[in-house]
Amino acid sequence: MKIQKNVSLQPYNSFGLEATARYFVSLDSVATIQELLETKSYAAVPRIILGGGSNILLTKNIDGIVLKNDLKGIDVVEELADHWLVKAGAGENWHAFVLHALNKGWAGVENLSLIPGSVGAGPMQNIGAYGVELKDVFHSLEGVNLQTGEVEVFDKAACRFGYRESVFKRGLKDRYIITAVTLKLNKKPDLNTSYGAIEAELERLKIDKTSIKAISQAVINIRQRKLPDPAKIGNSGSFFKNPVVARSQFEELRSRFPDMVAYPVSETEVKLAAGWLIDRAGWKGRTFDHCGVHKKQALVLVNYGGAKGQHIYDLSEKILISVQEKFGVLLEREVNVL
């Protein structure tokens, strides 16, 4: 185990923001994690767990130790009649894992193509896109308890999944390092093309027979048209969650804004499109202090180069206030602010 000092975190966050970690260590095995926890000189140092860096906003230097999750490996741990149980190291790149699954014929994650970040962040965020959430294919995960050093297993119920939520973002935040995730992937695909523009994109591609690879390619094409590439323009993907409101509030809003974009959640609740709200509040495409709101997708805040994390945070705060004043809806940030 090698612990580095005064390490730049710019290469480790998709916004490309400059910040320095007082200490930094790459963790590539459970044994390395346990070794670190037994090192008394770092026992009282504040810890920050870092995966793919695609869902964080760094507003300051980290006066503590950054634990970079680099655990790798993809293995079938069990084959059953209708599905495989596939375990992946938490440090694997999520999209690379999806492509690996497609090549193996493992179905269930094709709609989650091109989501940035690591496998370990998947259950933490309950990532989702185009009608599918990670919880739909989730079986279990393993994590090291940072107090005891022991490996514990969490099933779906224990993770308490919600919309872009899990127990690891709330009650157990910063108390575990997720080391591996096991997914239940189907042998017979249950193709989901009903959400968003997937069907239209499949028609544009002139796909005669829908497959998991075809759906993945459609999702990739749609996302690439709508979202900026973090390698070219710093961003964290969707910065805000789509808010869920009571149906009565939605009906009142729709009476004033007939073209409001929304999706039913239940008989009593409706999910509003945060991007539509931000766009209608006048923020789409605007630029401030080297950062701004992306011109094609108002959900995405971007670093055009040279922005500080505090600039992006301040912009997000202005957007929150503006949307609440115009629509009476309080947005919530999806990213973790450090």
DSSP state of 249: H
Q: Which one of 142, 238, 280, 316 is the catalytic residue?
A: 238
Residue reference for tokens 């670093």: 303
| Cα 130 from Cα 112, distance rounded (Å) | 7
Q: Take residue 295 and report the two structure tokens written for it.
A: 């011109």
Kindly give, in sequence order, each residue whose CB lies less than 8 Å from that of residue 241, ignoring residues fewer than 6 positions away: 163, 164, 274, 331, 332, 333, 334
334 is catalytic: yes
| Cα 105 from Cα 109, distance rounded (Å) | 11
Q: Which one of 164, 223, 280, 333 is the catalytic residue?
A: 164
Is the alpha carbon torsion for 36, 39, 44, 45 positive or negative? Answer: negative
Helix orientation angle between 94-104 and 212-226, rounded to the nearest 10 degrees: 150
164 is catalytic: yes
Enclosing H/E stretch for 292: strand 291-293
Q: In 10 A of CB 252, how many CB atoms?
A: 13
The catalytic site residues sit at 164, 238, 334
